[in-house]
Amino acid sequence: MKNKQFDDFKDTVFALAKKNNVEVQISYSQNRNFQVRYQNGDMDQYTDAGKFRMNVLVLKDGKLGASYTETFDDPEKVFLDACENISIVDTEDVEYFYDGSGEYLKLEPYDGAFENLPVRDRIGYVETAHKEARKDERILMDMAVYGDEMNEQRIANTLGLDVSFVDGGGFMYAMAVAKDSSPRSGTEFTLGKRPEDIDGAYVGKKAREESIALIGSQSVKSGKYRIILRNDVFSDMLGMLVSMISAENAQKNLSPLKGKLGEQIGSNIFTVKDLPYHPMSISNAPFDTQGVPTCEKAIIEKGVFKTFLHNLKTAKKDGVKPTGNAAGNGIAPINLYVEPGNKSFEELLSALGDGILIIEVDGMHAGANPISGNFSLGAKGFKVENGKIVRGVEEITVSGNFLEMMKNIEEVGSDLRAFVGFGGCIVPSIIVSEIDIAGTV
Amino acid sequence: MLDKFSKGVAERILGTVLKYGGDFAELFVEDRYSTNISLKNGKVETAQTGRMFGVGIRGFLGDKAIYAYTNDLSEENMLTVARRVGEALGEVKLGDLSLDLRKKELNNRHIIVFNPKDVQKETKVGYMKRAYEAARNYSPVIAQVVVNYWDYDQNVLIANTEGVYVTDERVRTRLMINAVAMKDGQMESGFYGPGAAMGPEFLERMDLEQAGVRAARIAVRMVDAQPAPAGRMTVVISNEFGGVIFHEAVGHALEASSVARGMSVFAGKLGQQVGAECVSAVDDATIPNAWGSANVDDEGTPTQRNLLIEKGVLKGYMIDKLGSRRMNMPPTGSGRRQDYTYAPTSRMSNTFILPGDYHPEEVIASVDYGLYAKTMGGGSVNPATGEFNFAVNEGYLIENGKVTRPVKGATLIGKGYEIVQKIEMVGNDVARGQGMCGSYSGSIPADVGEPTIKVREILVGGRNQ
């Protein structure tokens, strides 16, 4: 961290704040990232980079003005821009800063395990994945990506807050495409905290196996089906829940969970938590983007809706304590964690008996409406009969309502995996007892 | 602030890359000033301005590319980054190259009347409030209206070891209106997001009330709609933003990033009939002041109008510099990136299906039973398999050649190369709509467009009755 330059910038802005009789908060973020992508065994993209940014918030009479910059030049201009922005803000909402007086969890910061890895080792992961993906002559093309990143965050304000944390890790992604009447793609994604968590061969093999297994995919008859949502798919769909549990959305009548605290909103085997730290996550944090301490809490416990997620403003409005979930201009969990059940993935397949295993949904950003909970998504997967995968399924859409779906969760698996999206997401696969699938007549 | 980058600095950075490796080096400097204002229920809730300032340094060795970016702009640091790029490329090809960069003056095609920096924020808020009022007052069932405003002034400098040294200024302004209607516990939303490569004069000239009404209308119609029918059926897709179907289903698979490595279903098919004869389409970054336009692309190559498909025959791809090396074809001015934190790659700009012969009403009248997708939402595609999906934000049933009742929750899915063969009628009402396109090099402004078209059969996902 460029401590000296940041401190100078901060001191100048804090002095200006004092002179102008306003409060100010500066968030400093610095990240470094490395990424390499191979297509069909050739290097296609390679990025090794870093950047920093300072977000300046000025608070005056409960109103906020914001400005950011990527240069230490001219702190005064940045400060004045933020002040000017206050002049057009006319919401009746009152904003606050946090003074940093609370107890912060002592979390283990990222040890930079990937930082010291020689470049040839990082490229080695991708080459291994590529070789593994190609171990079947039906594979037409493949792609493999390796990346690692390190993110440092520091927040300081004129009320006395000054906190910092660093987290990071690595990831791998592979895609293999198998030849068929139309090409079949299989993918695999892994997140890791340490280099030994990343296994290039495994990622390549899983992508290959999935694409090969999809050869001969067909649609299915339209109707209602029992399904497994594989952990990666379930993680995607939980984006809808993240929007619904935001107190801000509830206060603005944009959440269907408004007024449902304490109610049974999901199946009684469904428990969702927000965790400040999980060993598999690469986005842990002892404080949120307002500097408020993060804490572990149940959001849904045995199907009962326990709490919305709050930032300082929404908490004040509802007369509750902030939950440490401010995320920029919005609200988000630190690590959304779905409590696992006892059944392995294979046991889930047996429990499904006859149904469809969904391995991909597309179009979450457009085909899912978190205000109503309705979704209709392109999907693919496998047909399961007597607990065994019998063939690939293509050209179907799954549709329903997320709130109904939470009630229809019949089994929760033990196969926890970590993903990134809106913060961290650590989830298992689930069985949903009934969902609409559109396919052939 | 690009004056910090004299030719001398640029020459030293590019020279350092080649000294340590590679056969080509490129420098991209970006200084961007943005404003974002958010208006919720008639009140300005957040107002933010900000400046991004950084450089991207890229080197090639054959068709291998290394990219690095930094915003520590001390010359010492930039030369270290340049050296790392060269070293990562490995083999030294040209060594000490004496560069003599000469600035190329561009003929600016996109005249800006007001730089957003010079327009009062109160004026911008005024535009937002007019759109808000119109949307709010459209119907008593409108429960929420959010209007977001975004503008930026992006100054770029691009230099490379082929002697390119060019600057370009891209100014863009966009209004995004989101209306929510609520009735009997049902909530549905409508969106309209017009934008242009213009300053705030874009909003000064626009019918802001009409824009607000447009978002509100979608929400109000959809809150009364029944779930869409599911299954394979004929679909008529309305003009303007309906062109997102071509963008996703075909456009992405014509980008060099997919084609060069054979990762696209359209690779190796130039000159072949890939679509119905009524389909012709272009990608054109030269349209004055269009949302996806620019004088030069983000690699310094002048933009051009690229013919992609003519009467169903594949005529061209969208090619960036790296793709050009890999495909042995000239670049088409299609190298784009979100900002300096992304290496550029082949991307679309303003992509649309060219007009045909039919009046849009004739197109609808030809359908016995089907879906009329009046307003499309976003979509996505897997270029390797061609599988796409889209949300229909405003849909209606067509029965006996007439648009009858509204239907909601429809999703269109299929494979791009099949859909383009199934287009049966193309209208004469071509128009373009604005969107943000996300791909390898980030999220970039792009126009999509088409006239009203009829697709013989698409799988529509909805609720089973």
* Same-domain pairing of B289 and B394: yes
Q: With cut-offs at 50, 70 and 90, classify the pLDDT of residue A372.
A: confident
Going by C-alpha positions, the residue among B54, B65, B53, B59 that lies closest to residue B82 is B59
Report the pLDDT value the prediction gives residue A3, as an integer from 0 to 100.
78
Touching check for A48 and chain B: CB below 8 Å?
yes
* Same-domain pairing of A313 and A376: yes
* Same-domain pairing of B211 and B242: no
* Same-domain pairing of A195 and A277: no
Query: How far apart, in whole angstroms, are the C-alpha atoms of residue A210 and residue A216?
Result: 12
Query: How far apart, in whole angstroms, are the C-alpha atoms of residue B204 and residue B207?
Result: 8
* Same-domain pairing of A239 and A125: no
Query: How far apart, in whole angstroms, are the C-alpha atoms of residue B244 and residue B437?
Result: 10
Residues whose CB is less than 8 angstroms from the CB of residue B405 and which lie 6 or more positions away in sequence, other chains included: B225, B226, B396, B397
CA A35 to chain centre: 19
Touching check for A398 and chain B: CB below 8 Å?
yes
CB–CB of B378 and A183 under 8 A?
no
Residues A190 and A132: beta-carbon distance below 8 Å? no
The answer to whether residue A352 is domain-embedded is yes
Report the pLDDT value the prediction gives residue B463, as an integer from 0 to 100.
63
Report the pLDDT value the prediction gives residue A2, as an integer from 0 to 100.
64
Q: Is the C-alpha dihedral spanning B148, B149, B153, B159 positive or negative?
A: positive
Q: Rounded to a whole number, what is the distance in Å from the CA of B311 to chain A's nearest CA? A: 24
Q: What are the helix (H) ranges across A164-224?
A: 200-213
> Tell me, what's the ipTM?
0.88
Report the pLDDT value the prediction gives residue B397, as an integer from 0 to 100.
97
Q: Rounded to a whole number, what is the distance in Å from the CA of B260 to chain A's nearest CA? A: 10
Touching check for A126 and chain B: CB below 8 Å?
no
Q: What average pLDDT does chain A have?
A: 94
* Mutate which: A68, A88, A130, vs B, most B CBs within 10 A: A88
Which structural domain, as residue segments, surrounds residue B312? Answer: 231-461
Query: How far apart, in whole angstroms, are the C-alpha atoms of residue A438 and residue A417?
Result: 29
* pLDDT beyond 60 at B393: yes
* pLDDT beyond 90 at B385: no
pLDDT tens by residue, B92-134: 877 677 777 877 778 889 999 999 999 999 999 999 999 999 9
Q: Which of A188, A213, A238 is the last residue of a domain?
A: A213
State which H helix or E strand residue A290 sits in.
none
Touching check for A14 and chain B: CB below 8 Å?
no
Q: What average pLDDT does chain B have?
A: 94
Q: With cut-offs at 50, 70 and 90, classify the pLDDT of residue B464.
A: low
Tally the domains of chain B.
2
pLDDT tens by residue, A108-139: 889 999 998 998 899 999 999 999 999 999 99
- A&B contacts, CB < 8 Å: 240
* Same-domain pairing of B235 and B219: no
What number is the average pLDDT over the span A263-275? 98
Query: How far apart, in whole angstroms, are the C-alpha atoms of residue B326 and residue A423?
Result: 37
Touching check for A61 and chain B: CB below 8 Å?
no
* pLDDT beyond 90 at B195: yes
* pLDDT beyond 50 at B399: yes
Residues B161 and B24: beta-carbon distance below 8 Å? yes
List the 314-353 stretch of A: residues with Cβ below 8 A of B.
329
* Same-domain pairing of A181 and A326: no
Rg (CA), chain B: 24
Touching check for A388 and chain B: CB below 8 Å?
no
The answer to whether residue B294 is domain-embedded is yes
Query: How far apart, in whole angstroms, are the C-alpha atoms of residue B23 and residue B64?
Result: 10
Residues whose CB is less than 8 angstroms from the CB of residue B254 and which lie 6 or more positions away in sequence, other chains included: B264, B266, B308, B314, B316, B317, B318
* Same-domain pairing of A277 and A310: yes
Indicate the range of A84-93, A136-145, A418-427 predicted with least confidence: A418-427
* Same-domain pairing of A176 and A313: no
CB–CB of B63 and A42 under 8 A?
yes
The answer to whether residue B21 is domain-embedded is no
The answer to whether residue A314 is domain-embedded is yes
pLDDT tens by residue, B260-291: 988 788 999 999 999 999 999 999 999 999 99
Residues A325 and A310: beta-carbon distance below 8 Å? yes
The answer to whether residue B217 is domain-embedded is yes
The answer to whether residue B129 is domain-embedded is yes
Phi-psi region of B287 (alpha: psi -120 to 50; beta: other; left: phi over 0): beta
For helices B208-223 and B121-136, angle between their N-to-C axes, nearest 10 degrees: 40
Residues whose CB is less than 8 angstroms from the CB of residue A429 and which lie 6 or more positions away in sequence, other chains included: A228, A229, A230, A231, A234, A345, A348, A413, A415
- Report the chain A residue with the minimal C-alpha distance to residue B322: A44
- Residues of chain A in contact with residue B414, where contact means CB-CB under 8 angstroms, are 395
State which H helix or E strand residue B64 sits in.
strand B64-70
CB–CB of B343 and A395 under 8 A?
no
Residue with tokens 């759109």: B131
The answer to whether residue A218 is domain-embedded is no
* Same-domain pairing of A100 and A163: yes
The answer to whether residue B69 is domain-embedded is no
Query: How far apart, in whole angstroms, are the C-alpha atoms of residue A259 and residue A250?
Result: 8
* Same-domain pairing of B201 and B279: no
- Exposed / middle / buried, residue B65 (Cβ in 10 Å: 0-12, 13-18, 19+): buried
* Same-domain pairing of B195 and B254: no
What number is the average pLDDT over the span B358-385? 92
According to DSSP, the β-strands at A272-274 and A297-301 are antiparallel
Q: Which two tokens stand for residue B412?
A: 């269109």
What CATH number should be reported for the domain holding residue A39? 3.30.2290.10
Query: How far apart, in whole angstroms, are the C-alpha atoms of residue A49 and residue B67?
Result: 8
Going by C-alpha positions, the residue among B342, B337, B348 that lies closest to residue B303 is B348
Distances (CA, A) of B455 to B98, B106, B419: 57, 42, 7
Residues A395 and A257: beta-carbon distance below 8 Å? no
Residues B296 and B106: beta-carbon distance below 8 Å? yes
Touching check for A108 and chain B: CB below 8 Å?
no
* Mutate which: B1, B45, B119, vs A, most A CBs within 10 A: B45
CB–CB of B47 and A66 under 8 A?
yes
- Give percent above pLDDT 70 in chain B: 98
Which structural domain, as residue segments, surrounds residue A267? Answer: 223-438
CB–CB of B387 and A374 under 8 A?
no
pLDDT tens by residue, B154-171: 999 999 999 999 999 999
Q: Is the C-alpha dihedral spanning A288, A291, A294, A299 positive or negative?
A: negative
What number is the average pLDDT over the span A246-253? 92
* Same-domain pairing of A150 and A62: yes
The pairs formed by A248-254 with CB atoms below 8 angstroms and a separation of 24 or more are A248/A311, A248/A313, A248/A314, A248/A330, A248/A331, A249/A331, A249/A370, A250/A308, A251/A314, A251/A317, A251/A318, A252/B40, A252/B41, A252/B144, A253/B143, A253/B144, A253/B180, A253/B182, A254/A371, A254/B144, A254/B180, A254/B187
CB–CB of B46 and A399 under 8 A?
no
Residue B344: other Cβ atoms inside 10 A: 29
CA B345 to chain centre: 13
- Exposed / middle / buried, residue A138 (Cβ in 10 Å: 0-12, 13-18, 19+): middle
* Same-domain pairing of A157 and A268: no
The answer to whether residue B377 is domain-embedded is yes
Q: With cut-offs at 50, 70 and 90, classify the pLDDT of residue B222.
A: very high
CB–CB of B391 and A119 under 8 A?
no
Instruction: Identify the three-state secondary structure at position A4.
Output: helix
pLDDT tens by residue, B321-345: 999 999 999 999 999 999 999 999 9
Tally the domains of chain A.
2
- Residues of chain B in contact with residue A39, where contact means CB-CB under 8 angstroms, are 261, 263
- Residues of chain B in contact with residue A92, where contact means CB-CB under 8 angstroms, are 43
* Same-domain pairing of A200 and A247: no
The answer to whether residue A27 is domain-embedded is yes
* Same-domain pairing of A130 and A192: yes
Q: With cut-offs at 50, 70 and 90, classify the pLDDT of residue B465.
A: very low
pLDDT tens by residue, A33-60: 999 999 999 888 899 999 999 999 999 9
Report the pLDDT value the prediction gives residue B389, as an integer from 0 to 100.
86
* Same-domain pairing of B147 and B212: yes
- Give percent above pLDDT 90 in chain B: 82
Query: How far apart, in whole angstroms, are the C-alpha atoms of residue A305 and residue A301?
Result: 7
* Same-domain pairing of A173 and A76: yes
Rg (CA), chain A: 24
